[in-house]
Structure 1
Amino acid sequence: MTKPAEVSVRPGDKVSADSHSLNELLEIQQAAFIRDGIPDAKTRIDRINRLGQLLLDNEAEICAALNADFGTRPRDVSVAADIAGSMIDLTHQRRHVAEWMEETNVAKLQGLLGFKQRLRHDPLGVVGVMGPWNFPLNLTFVPAGSAFAAGNRVLMRPSSITKTTTELIARLAPDYFSIEELAVVTSAHGNGSDFAKLPVDHMFFTGSPEVGASVAQEAAKNLVPVTLELGGKNPAIVDLDTDITEAANFLADARMINGGQVCLCPDYVFVPESKVGEFVEKVIARWTANYPTIAENSQYTSTINAKNFNRIVGLIDDAVELGATKQQVIPAGEVLPDADARKIPPTVLTGVKAGMKIEEDEVFGPVLTVYPYRNQSEAIDKINSAGHPLTMYWVGDDNARLAHLADHTRSGSISGNDFALHLVSGGLPFGGVGRSGMGNYHGRFGFETFSHARAVTVSSLPLSFAESMSAPFTKKDVRATNMQVKLWKFLNGRAARKSAR
């Protein structure tokens, strides 16, 4: 085992992470963190800049790798989501990190009286980032940028399912980072479970709830705090007086982003009962116009692998066998689903009922389930019975019915009339609740996720709390204690009377 004291890896040496084991990489970063101390703003900004430069310098090669991993994935999707999409938050972190990291004086007046109170925003140390396959760069580089802003070192493990992309990033990373700062881990270092066992200072995971639970269990053995960004069946509700054409076009488009392989895609939609037929007709029309061909269409994203292809087709078949109705967009002359190309036609399911697998499973593919509703309470009851989603879509005005929906459900976020716009706001968090995750990031929320809020107090008060709370307790101490009880009884009683008015 390489000992930290014996390791001398400096920026510019271009040492690959493959030269070391997982534990060695962790020791190298831990030793560097202790040796160098807390980084200043200039160092943090430089690291964020290099993270963005890695993406921008190698855009063409990255897009080609993503296309190879998926089978078919449009360059426009890869740029918008994994490259430009990452730059939005990296830029926000870079612009604000100097402000966020400043020590805060939280009690100026009390400080003048002799009770100084300050709040530091200290880095945790070494952060482990585990990414998924659907957006393998955005969902690793963005949390890594937040971790850098907070002053940490990063061990990054992109998904092994997108093997070509992960190997490319692992090869490129040493041109931009010392492994003391950022080490990209591949399947050559072991599987995801091995990575989850590392005693890092914080573990960040994006993926399925099932794997997330396993990561949390492994991290708990080392008392490592975790942030879990998980999936969930995201509902959508079309309001009573919403234009059906606009609603259908929006949800048809949102369902098909990245071939439906997004944790934020709408999974099922509630439509006013009298408008269900028109809604389905409009969705099919939108998909027919958008995808005149599918099998050989380079703009139609393939399902990532055979396992997921078979799973999605199986969900559709199971629903139909149990009585659901499917409507699909299959261009003339094409045979779909196509297992070789891993292309599944856009599909609408109606008549879905309890007992069908698609009622329980997150689809993560080009399938939209449509339910009728007569009053909002029906939709709310259905949503609440399915667990807390990562997001919830509202199609309609910002009105009292939206407020009622928000008050009577739980979800990571609510997105009205467009696809997940909270992702592009530096002022809003991204994260789930319950089964859809714990913790959040983006903007300052990401900085705080990877920071420790460290209290500092310095007293020059004429009285000592230590002395007053330790024996012997004099008559003066007893009188002071009794006065505290009497004071708090008065204040609490007054507050209770005020709230009862």
Structure 2
Amino acid sequence: MDIATDPAITGLAQLEHAHATLKRAWQSDPFPERELRVAQLDKLARILREHEDEWLAAVSADFGHRSPVETRLAELFPSLEGIRHAKKSLKHWMAPQTRGVSLWFKPARAHVRPQPLGVVGIIVPWNYPIYLAIGPMIAALAAGNRVMLKMSEFTPQTGSLMARLCREMLGDDWVQVINGGAEVAAAFSALPFDHLLFTGSTAVGRHVMRAAAANLTPVTLELGGKSPAIVAPGFDARRAAEAIVVGKLLNAGQTCVAPDYVLVKAGERDALVREIRAAASRMYPTLRDNSDYSSVVNARHYQRLNSWLDEARAAGADIDSINPAGEDLSGSHKLPLTLVTGAPDHCTLMQEEIFGPLLPIIAYAKFDEALAYVNARERPLALYLFDEDPMRIARTERTTVAGGMCVNTTVLHVAQDDLPFGGVGASGMGHYHAHEGFLTFSKLKPVLSMPRFNLLSLTHAPYGKRMDWLLKLMLRKP
């Protein structure tokens, strides 16, 4: 369903109709059997596998250029792996969980049954428009829900393809895909969903949460923030640089868990900078016509990144753009990896999530200063530590708070199908992926069953000495 960005009543009526269609479908079968859920997941896999070339072309058209390898690697592959994991795990996830019963209530029995919530709304960002639509859909469909997707207006080709394929393969009674601008997104977030998942910026996340609150809709917010990479004293600079460049230049830095800035010991900063330059030059010896190197998504974001660089330069920062072939990149929206050192804290790129191939390098004197720097700021979506010291690694894990953490690599925790993914504080709330994603889109219904013959009559009125004696036992010291 494509809805124009005009916030007319007709557009709102279409949204409400789509939601009502899904609600009626769920009410007709509020607990789909496992075989039906698996069948829907299989159809989702076919959408990806049988239309791979269409996905690659659509995403690349939306970006101006997106590396087809990156779309396969960072969107199609983790989506298909997530489907495999959900199918394999679904029997276990759906099974009622036996719980204990207090001695005083035996021989009663208790269990918890995961139950579909109903209609789940998912607001998809532009940076990974396939994976960040399919990933939450996997969890929602596995949990037995119907799904309503709002695709980003910045990726219209991908949004149109998603709408067509979901309609053809899954049907409007399972998934409805909405395309449109900011007004449509605002109306979408105000619908009375049974759960709403939003992936995007912290600022927009606040608006989504306010809109959802009017309906008491529970929300999962996947935001972002400034994910630090800490290089511990003495760590191999080449090894750290390789992993940092891989994580930073995937999708030209337009990744919510990309390393946002690097903390390195002052005396080792120059060596790390040399190795980052060398790693970037090895991986991307050319940029303009290099199909491996992705563009910044549009002119607005390209101008935003350049204005942040200009501000830092004017404030006295050193700007080091890594353009190995010395190409003229004007007009291409391709931006080289640019290292920024000495930027004052008030600069925008030191305060806001960068979401592009700019990388501030910050020196520290002692390792504890690096941890204090991270802890003094908003909690990030990811934290990356490069270290071989088990004590320092354990201390960092215990004393920093982040949505996720990697040791001696970057980004890859997101692709682990048995790990939950989610932020904390300004970087989000709630989880999806893995079993936690299934639980996010389920109601864990507690059920207590009392057999015919039990001792509860001993606690019924009229009360007397017998009850006094029982209460002395019941209120005994733990």
Letter in 1 for 2:28: R
- Whole-angstrom CA distance in 1 between matches of 2:90 and 2:219: 22
List gaps (5 residues or longer) in structure 1: 1-15, 492-501
- Whole-angstrom CA distance in 1 between matches of 2:95 and 2:240: 45
- Whole-angstrom CA distance in 2 between matches of 1:146 and 1:168: 21
**1:129 has 2:122 as partner:** yes
8 Å contact 2:124–2:152 — kept in the other structure?
A: yes
List gaps (5 residues or longer) in structure 2: 4-10
Give the match for residue 477 of structure 1: 467
Residue-by-residue CA offset, 1:364-391 (whole Å, 9 max, x unaligned): 0001111112211111111012210001
Letter in 2 for 1:53: R
8 Å contact 2:30–2:118 — kept in the other structure?
A: no
Give the match for residue 415 of structure 2: 424
1:395 aligned to 386, 392, 404, which one?
A: 386
Deviates most, 112-121 or 472-481: 472-481
Structure 1 residues 463, 357: CA separation in 2 closer, same or farther (over 3 Å shift)? same
**1:463 has 2:469 as partner:** no
Structure 1 residues 421, 330: CA separation in 2 closer, same or farther (over 3 Å shift)? closer
Equivalence map 1:87-486=2 (5 Å)? 87-107=80-100, 113-187=106-180, 191-332=184-325, 334-336=327-329, 338=330, 340-397=331-388, 399-460=390-451, 462-464=454-456, 468=459, 473-485=463-475
- Whole-angstrom CA distance in 2 between matches of 1:188 and 1:311: 20
Give the match for residue 11 of structure 1: none
Residue-by-residue CA offset, 1:52-85 (whole Å, 9 max, x unaligned): 1101111001100100000011100011111112
- Whole-angstrom CA distance in 2 between matches of 1:153 and 1:376: 48
8 Å contact 1:137–1:158 — kept in the other structure?
A: no
Give the secondary structure class of the aligned counterpart of 2:260. Answer: strand
Letter in 1 for 2:83: L
Compute the displacement of 1:216 (Å): 0.8
Residue-by-residue CA offset, 1:285-312 (whole Å, 9 max, x unaligned): 2222332322232322111111111111
8 Å contact 2:68–2:291 — kept in the other structure?
A: no
TM-score (normalised: structure 1): 0.89
8 Å contact 1:326–1:350 — kept in the other structure?
A: yes
8 Å contact 2:189–2:212 — kept in the other structure?
A: yes
Structure 1 residues 320, 204: CA separation in 2 closer, same or farther (over 3 Å shift)? same
- Whole-angstrom CA distance in 1 between matches of 2:238 and 2:16: 55
Structure 1 residues 78, 398: CA separation in 2 closer, same or farther (over 3 Å shift)? farther
Residue-by-residue CA offset, 1:316-358 (whole Å, 9 max, x unaligned): 111111111111123455334x3x2112121001112221111
Letter in 1 for 2:406: S
8 Å contact 2:151–2:179 — kept in the other structure?
A: yes
Report how many residues are paired: 469
Compute the displacement of 1:38 (Å): 0.7
Q: CA RMSD of the aligned region, Å?
A: 2.2
- Whole-angstrom CA distance in 2 between matches of 1:37 and 1:283: 53
Compute the displacement of 1:157 (Å): 1.3
Deviates most, 121-130 or 298-307: 298-307
- Whole-angstrom CA distance in 2 between matches of 1:290 and 1:273: 26
Residue-by-residue CA offset, 1:151-192 (whole Å, 9 max, x unaligned): 111111121111111011112222101111111111189521
8 Å contact 1:360–1:386 — kept in the other structure?
A: no
Deviates most, 171-180 or 281-290: 281-290
- Whole-angstrom CA distance in 1 between matches of 2:152 and 2:341: 34
Percent identity, aligned pairs only? 34
- Whole-angstrom CA distance in 1 between matches of 2:138 and 2:349: 36
Give the match for residue 6 of structure 2: none
- Whole-angstrom CA distance in 2 between matches of 1:313 and 1:420: 25
TM-score (normalised: structure 2): 0.93
- Whole-angstrom CA distance in 2 between matches of 1:102 and 1:436: 32
Give the match for residue 13 of structure 1: none
Structure 1 residues 111, 134: CA separation in 2 closer, same or farther (over 3 Å shift)? farther
- Whole-angstrom CA distance in 2 between matches of 1:17 and 1:160: 11
Compute the displacement of 1:478 (Å): 3.8
Give the match for residue 66 of structure 2: 73
